Structure 1
Amino acid sequence: MMLGKPGASGAPFRILPLPDTHPPQISDGPVALLRTIGAAGLRHKGRLAIWVALCLAAAAAYVRTTPPTYTAAATVLLEPRRQVPSAAREIAAPSSLDLNAADSELQVIRSERLLSTVFDALALRDHPELGPQPPGPLQMLTSRVRAALRNVWAVSTGAAAQPGAEASLRVDPRRNAFENFARRFSARRVGQSYVLEIAYSSADPELPARVANAAASAYLLQSVAFKADAARSGAEFLQGRLDALATQVQAANAAVRSGALPAQPIPDADARIIGAAQAPLGPSAPRGSLIMAFAGVFGLLGGVFVAALVSVFDRRVRRPGDLVRETGLSCLAVIPEIAGRHRQARASVSDSAMLVTREHAGSFAAAIRDLGVAIEIAWAASRSEGSPVVAIGSWRAGAGASLLTMNLAQLLNHRGRQVSVFSADASPTRGEDGGPVGPSLTDVIASGSTVQAAFANVDGVRLLPIHSAMPQLNRFVDFRDPRAGLIITQARQRGEVLIDLPPLGESSDAVALATHADIVVLVAAEGATTYDELNDALGVLQRAGITVIGAVINRGRS
């Protein structure tokens, strides 16, 4: 098959189908991983941008719909426990603070007893924020599911609903408000120091400071009240000591009720308040800028990760380098999509053959020319003489094998070559002389006679349909019949011969026809054909002893 002299058009070869003597080096490691992730991100950049925009929109909606939360904190410094002398002349021994005392005092601050004192002193039982809240969509859904399951269980077991069941499930309003209050309260140790931070969060900007200061005062009250009780029960303490402790108890108690700090020092509390809770100047949550930044980073990284993960498991043909690595086939050419996939699929035989001659089909025509040159180089490398019979096929229909066959034939025809095409996807309406079309290849084989095949004329290309218009003949014909080889040989004597194979994955007719060809070219549609399908097609042809020189990526968009 003389497809034209290499380089006759003056343009250098862009694709060389000769097999490499050294296999390509497959790079691994972090650099290859980053390259794969970057390529996946660029391939799905449109979807990635939409995903990031959706994440930012969701974050903005969350920030706008979430009510602001204000937080205030009071800090307490623990001090060594004061030892009171039992007599006037007795000197108290110096004391030290245990390293584990801070953790113990944290549990005291978090105890239900202290929180109840603050809760009752500030009269928070009827605070609207701590009352029952309307259930959210998820809670409503789960409650309905539970109710439906209870009804189903009652019906299945025959048990009647107890009238007091709902009443027994009701929660005490004070208990419910106290639990909501405790969830908003927090106490922690600042680093490894003896400083304790007492904080409270609320949607009311004035309430957090009152609660934090009241909790700090309650902690002092609890400590000094214990000493006052011990002083009253011990005869060894003087009345002055009792009066001093009683004054400190009164000051701490008043501070708890007012939600403020004591008006006078409380030295016997073994703790000292070093920072009063102040009314917050702004909400502590939600942090809009932080949430938006997190949403943007999460959307970008999550989208890139998903794109890379999809690319790892995506077995569809996309790049020539991956084609060589996954199948071992050389990429003969990458044919761009000229008029859209659906438009090409609906085009007639004549229209499909004329795509290569359109004025705006420069890249498409160049790719078809590259395909012809690649076939010529591969045939020359086999040291064979004469013109080869080239079969072009795909595993499934719709990959564009017929389109490429007809345009390659039209390109050769414009170079002055006589081209005969055996097409599996052609229904010509006129014969070679303009009269009615003759029998197809199937009709000639099924006739059992030496009827001469009548080729149709499609813009200068001799075209013979492979299948018959009668479906019953197509079911029983055997394309390995010598008459099929005779017709192909006669066409070969007149010039170039191209065979448009039926889909390899649908019937064995394609393999039978391919046995009459010298070389076979497989067609893969970018983003549609998988490497597994190419490997299946390659395996079927190689088991039949057919030479496959490479593959073509059709409808390339990258």
Structure 2
Amino acid sequence: MNSDTVSSAVIKRFLRRYIGTIVAVAFLGALVAMIYAWMATSIYSAKAQILIESRLPQALREQLGEAGIALDSPAIESQIALLRSGKIASDVIAKLDLEKDAEFGGQSVNKGWLRSITAWRARPVVEKTSGNTIALHEAAVASLQSQIDIRRYGLSYVLDVAVSSRDPEKSAKIVNALTDAYMADQLNLKIDAARQASDWREEQIVRLRTQMNKASRAVQEYKARRDYRLPPKIEEASHQGVNPSILQSDAGKEVGSGRRDAVSLEELEVSASAYRKIYENNLQAHADAVLRQTLQFTNARVITPASTPLTPTFPRSRILAIVGALVGGMLGLGVCVIRHIFDETIKTAAEVELTDTIELIGNIPAIELTRPLVRHVMINRPHLTNQTMPMSVLKYTPLVAQSNVCRSLHELLKPLNLYRQTSSGTIIGLTAIGTSAARSMIAGGIAGAASHSGKRVLLVDLDLANRTISRLLKPDATGGIFEVLNNSSNIDDAVISGDWRAADILPASANTVKAGEQFANVDSTLSAVIAKLKNRYDLIIADLPNATDARNELMTLAPLMDEVVCIIECGVATPESLKRSLKIVRSAGVEPFGAIIYASDDVSI
């Protein structure tokens, strides 16, 4: 058998062994989740959608394509942060007066009775801030911010804005107030920017007006100081007794001064004209800005306002049940893994060989209780339990004739030498290190398999305390081996012919026999009965009590057997219990013929 097959068998056996625990814990987790969902406070979430206009120019967006959306991502994230900001939340709280609301007024939203266990931790904070308006407002802002959920719709410019609340109408009002506050904030931001620009331009206009007036005044003052009279001629001056050289020199000075004054006047006029143009341009720009200020609009708009939600978003019973079942299943699996790691019971044949030198003559897999098989058995034997089910399953031969269990039982006939011809019958006793149900099941299986080979087979129930075979196969028996030994019944009346797969059955007793009264003072009688039965049957399968349960009875019965076979039930038997049971059998002077492993990890089911 390769490692993959062994690994698969081990996993399959592990799941079969612990599937009940895993399913039970998973069911418990789902049940706890359903109880929590039933008792938790319902939370409603209203949602609105906002479209953010791109800040990139249209031509650039067309050129960049999808890359333009990536460039706009920081801007969109900035708008998301603005929607979550304390300023917007503060405006919403002031508008809806949420400070007086028990849900947001400094108290956290309690989503169920489980959170009430930790609610006392928040109460001291509320008490300390009850007299402080600012602290209460900050607590309300923090509480509202924790209930706001904003997500981008894919890679678009659409934002989904949602707010959770215990009241569906309140959640819709808060979402609409939140979007209104955001739109108002965006509009006020633009109005403030335009107003600041307008104020700055007004200051510039005042300064330019002053400079323009100053330049114009300088031109006027200069022109007012100018002497526009013509100088006298030289001939007339000579007749009047004025020196002509003096007039020529004065004329030269006036000409030079006139040239310099002409240049200064031109500069003054150019400066005044420039200031006038700048002033007129700024005055026109200011008028346009004032006009635009009255026509401001935002770069965002609400495309879907919030409406009152009809169904709660929390708790979702189905999701909680699934999550609870998954968590419970994982927890159960973890517990089972830990149990398996620290489990000291025998699981494989190798562990038996390490414990004792007893020969292994068979390996029987656990019975696979398929749905049709279980349904068939439960209809016919509705009083059966999980411990007694395997024995009753074997009663319905057509359903399990092709199973691994039956094939393994037939293979046991060879090592038990049941095909040999003898003058008298052979009695084989089966004791177990494990449950009595597994031992009785294997005893009945061997008897049925041997009877199909043409032998006369008798199945004897010598476990007077448990009476597993008697209770399952002949619960209405009026007598058995115990009554035969006490001379209250004879063998012919006690043996039930051909009832168990062509094998006869000798029940234990009509009633449970107390410990200490089972085989007391009947050694000789029991030997005679067994000798008589061996003359009638080719094979007698005796279902013996377990060594650890009935030590004295086993030590009485074991020497009367031709062979004693030990059934080792994996998952139940431990190395210590195996050593102790074999020691009891050997102390009776009997060496076990061999051991049969049941439900080990060495075989696939």
TMscore range, shorter length: 0.5 to 0.7
Alignment of 1:238-317 (within 5 A): 264-266=295-297, 272-280=298-306, 283=309, 286=312, 291=316, 294=319, 298=323
| CA deviation profile, 1:353-412 (whole Å, cap 9, x unmatched) | 9x9999x99879999998985553332389897754312122345426468758987999
- Residue 265 of structure 1 aligns to a residue whose secondary structure is coil
Question: Which residue of the partner structure matches residue 204 of structure 2?
Answer: 236
Residue 112 of structure 1: which of 86, 91, 94 is its match?
86
Which residue, 183, 192, 199 being the options, matches 2:161? Answer: 199
Q: How many Å separate the matches in 2 of 1:404 and 1:27?
A: 25
Aligned to 1:75: 51
Matched, 1:339 2:301: no
Q: Measure the CA separation in 2 of the matches of 1:522 and 1:400.
A: 8
2 CA distance for matches of 1:35 and 1:468?
40
- Given that residues 431 and 566 in structure 2 are in contact (C-alpha distance below 8 angstroms), is that contact kept between their aligned partners in structure 1? yes
Q: Distance in 1 between matches of 2:109 and 2:9?
A: 53
Q: Read off the aligned partner of 1:503 and give its amino acid letter.
A: N
Alignment of 1:29-48 (within 5 A): none
- CA distance, structure 2, for counterparts of residue 28 and residue 410 of structure 1: 30
Structure 1 residue 212 displacement after superposition? 0.6
**Residue aligning to 2:547:** 504
Quote the offset at 1:214 in angstroms.
Answer: 2.6
In structure 2, what is the Cα distance between the partners aligned to 1:431 and 1:416? 24
1:137 paired to 2:105: no
Alignment of 1:131-530 (within 5 A): 131=105, 136-143=112-119, 166=127, 172=133, 173-186=136-149, 195=157, 197=159, 199-201=161-163, 203-204=168-169, 205-226=172-193, 228-229=195-196, 232=199, 235-236=203-204, 264-266=295-297, 272-280=298-306, 283=309, 286=312, 291=316, 294=319, 298=323, 329-331=362-364, 339=381, 375-380=412-417, 388-396=426-434, 398-399=436-437, 401=439, 417=456, 421=460, 423-425=462-464, 430-431=483-484, 435=487, 458-459=494-495, 471=516, 494=535, 496-506=539-549, 517-520=562-565, 522=567, 530=570
What is the CA–CA distance in structure 2 between the aligned matches of 1:98 and 1:345, rounded to whole Å?
70
Cα 1:138–1:538 shift into 2, 3 Å: closer
Check whether the contact 1:187–1:196 (CA below 8 A) recurs between aligned residues. no
Question: For 1:178, what is the secondary structure of its paired residue?
Answer: helix
When residues 214 and 179 of structure 1 are mapped into structure 2, their CA distance, relative to the original with a 3 A threshold, is same
CA distance in 1, matches of 2:154, 2:385: 69
Instruction: Give the CA deviation at 1:216.
Output: 2.5
Aligned pair in 2 of structure 1 residues 344, 366: CA closer, same or farther (>3 Å)?
A: farther
CA displacement 1:192-235 (0-9 Å, x = unmatched): 77x47473536333552342133123034235414533653573
Shift in Å at residue 503 of structure 1? 1.9
Are 1:198 and 1:212, in contact at CA under 8 Å, matched by a contact in 2?
no
Structure 1 residues 228, 463: CA separation in 2 closer, same or farther (over 3 Å shift)?
closer
> Do structure 1's residue 531 and structure 2's residue 571 form an aligned pair?
yes
Give how far 1:240 is off.
6.5
Separation in structure 2 between the aligned mates of residue 302 and residue 308 of structure 1, nearest angstrom:
10
- 1:154 maps to none
Question: Residue 522 of structure 1: CA displacement?
Answer: 2.0
Q: CA RMSD in A?
A: 6.6
Structure 2 contact 349–597 (Cα < 8 Å) conserved: no
Q: CA offsets, 1:28-74, max 9 Å, x none?
A: 88x999989998999899979978996996798599x7354221132
Alpha-carbon distance in structure 2 between the residues aligned to 1:469 and 1:80: 96
- Label 1:58 to 1:456 Cα distance change in 2 as closer, same or farther (>3 A): same
Distance 2:411 2:31 in 1: 46
Conserved? CA contact 2:433–2:581, under 8 Å: no
Within a 5 Å distance, the mapping from 1:58-69 to structure 2 comes to 66-69=42-45
Q: Supply the AA of the counterpart residue of 1:213.
A: D
What is the aligned partner in structure 1 of residue 472 from structure 2?
A: none
Counterpart CA distance in 2 for 1:305 and 1:165 is 39
Q: Which residue of 2 aligns with 1:90?
A: none
- Show the counterpart of 1:27: 5
User: In structure 1, what is the Cα distance between the partners aligned to 2:113 and 2:542?
Assistant: 63
One-letter amino acid of the structure 2 residue matched with residue 228 of structure 1: R
Residues 30 and 328, structure 2, Cα contact 8 Å, conserved in 1: no
One-letter amino acid of the counterpart of residue 522, structure 1: I
Q: Tell me the distance in 2 between the aligned counterparts of 1:50 and 1:280.
A: 39
Between the aligned partners of 2:529 and 2:594, the Cα distance in structure 1 is 19
Separation of aligned partners in 2, 1:70 and 1:458: 80
CA contact (8 A) 1:69 1:284 kept: no
Q: Distance in 2 between matches of 1:311 and 1:177?
A: 47
Distance 2:13 2:459 in 1: 44
Q: How many angstroms apart in 1 are the aligned matches of 2:384 and 2:21?
A: 22
Letter of the aligned partner of 1:393 in structure 2?
T
Identity of aligned residues (%): 13
Aligned positions, number: 439
Deviation at 1:129, TM superposition (A): 6.5
Q: What's the secondary structure of 2:433's corresponding residue? A: coil
Q: In structure 1, what residue type is equivalent to 2:90?
A: S
Distance 1:190 1:372 in 2: 66
Partner Cα separation in structure 2 for residue 36 and residue 435 of structure 1: 48
Structure 1 Cα separation of the partners of residues 325 and 546 of structure 2: 41
* Partner AA of 2:85 in structure 1: S
Question: Separation in 1 of the partners of 2:160 and 2:401?
Answer: 77
Correspondence for 1:548: 594
SS of 1:217 mapped into structure 2: helix
SS in 1 for 2:163: strand
Over 3 Å counting, the alpha-carbon distance change for 1:223 and 1:197 in structure 2 is farther
| Distance in 2 separating the partners of 1:224 and 1:243 | 15
Work out which of the two has the higher radius of gyration on C-alpha atoms and give 1 or 2: 2
Q: Give the distance between the partners of 1:381 and 1:430, measured in 2 at CA.
A: 29
Gap change, CA 1:332 and 1:459, over 3 Å in 2 = farther
Query: Would you say the 8 A contact 2:93–2:140 is kept in 1?
Result: no
- 1:396-451 per-position Cα deviation (integer Å, ceiling 9, x unaligned): 4542646875898799999995859582426856446x8359xxxxxxxxxxxxxx
TM-score by length of 1: 0.52
SS of the aligned residue for 1:531 comes to coil
Task: State the AA in 2 paired with 1:531.
Answer: G
In terms of mean alpha carbon deviation, does 381-390 or 108-117 score higher?
381-390
Q: Distance in 2 between matches of 1:50 and 1:133?
A: 32
Query: How many Å separate the matches in 2 of 1:196 and 1:410?
Result: 76
- 1:473 is displaced (CA, Å) by 11
Q: Which amino acid aligns with 1:232?
A: D
Change (3 A) 1:185 1:435: closer
